[in-house]
Amino acid sequence: MGFVCGLVVWDGRGLRASRPVPLRVKNGLHSQPGVQAKLPGPSFERQSLPAAIAASLRSMASYADRVLAAPPALVEAEHGRAGVDTTNLQATFQRVVAEPGENRERLEASLLAVVALQRLFVSLNALRAFAPAAEPGAPEWAGFRALLHRGLADLPAALEARREPVAFDAVGETRALRAGLGAGGARRDGLVAREMERMAWQVAGLRAAVARIVAVRAA
Q: How does pLDDT run across 31-63, given as a tens digit for each residue?
A: 444 544 444 444 577 889 999 999 999 999 999
**pLDDT computed for residue 119 by the predictor:** 96
The mean pLDDT value of the chain amounts to 78
**pLDDT computed for residue 144 by the predictor:** 86
- Structural domain contains residue 41: no
Whether residues 155 and 127 fall in one domain: yes
**Percent helix, percent strand, percent coil in the chain, to nearest 5:** 65, 10, 25
Q: Domain total for the chain? A: 2
Whether residues 67 and 169 fall in one domain: yes
**pLDDT computed for residue 125 by the predictor:** 92
Whether residues 174 and 88 fall in one domain: yes
CB 203 within 8 A of CB 117: no
- Structural domain contains residue 38: no
**pLDDT computed for residue 31 by the predictor:** 44
Whether residues 11 and 54 fall in one domain: no
Whether residues 105 and 210 fall in one domain: yes
Does 185 score more than 80 pLDDT?
A: no
Closest CA to 191 of 132, 126, 133: 126
User: Where does residue 93 rank: exposed (0-12), middle (13-18), buried (19+ CB within 10 A)?
Assistant: buried
Identify the weakest region by mean pLDDT among 66-70, 84-88, 172-176.
66-70
pLDDT tens for 78-89 read 999 999 999 999
Give the mean pLDDT of 138-160: 89
- Structural domain contains residue 54: yes
Closest CA to 204 of 116, 143, 108: 116
- Structural domain contains residue 36: no
Q: Which helix (H) or strand (E) holds 29?
A: strand 29-31
Which DSSP letter does residue 42 get? P
Whether residues 189 and 118 fall in one domain: yes
Rg (CA), the chain: 27
> What domain range is 11 assigned to?
2-31
Q: Residue by residue, what is the 3-state secondary structure of 82-147?
A: HHHHHHHHHHHHHHHHCCCCCCHHHHHHHHHHHHHHHHHHHHHHHHHHHCCCCCCCCHHHHHHHHH
Whether residues 140 and 204 fall in one domain: yes
The residue type at 124? L
Whether residues 159 and 210 fall in one domain: yes
- Structural domain contains residue 12: yes
The per-residue b/e assignment along 53-90, b for 16 or more CB within 10 angstroms, e otherwise, is bbbbbbbbbbbbbbbbebeeeebeebbebbbebbeebe
Whether residues 186 and 107 fall in one domain: yes
Whether residues 147 and 214 fall in one domain: yes
Whether residues 18 and 90 fall in one domain: no
- Structural domain contains residue 167: yes
Whether residues 13 and 96 fall in one domain: no
**pLDDT computed for residue 38 by the predictor:** 46
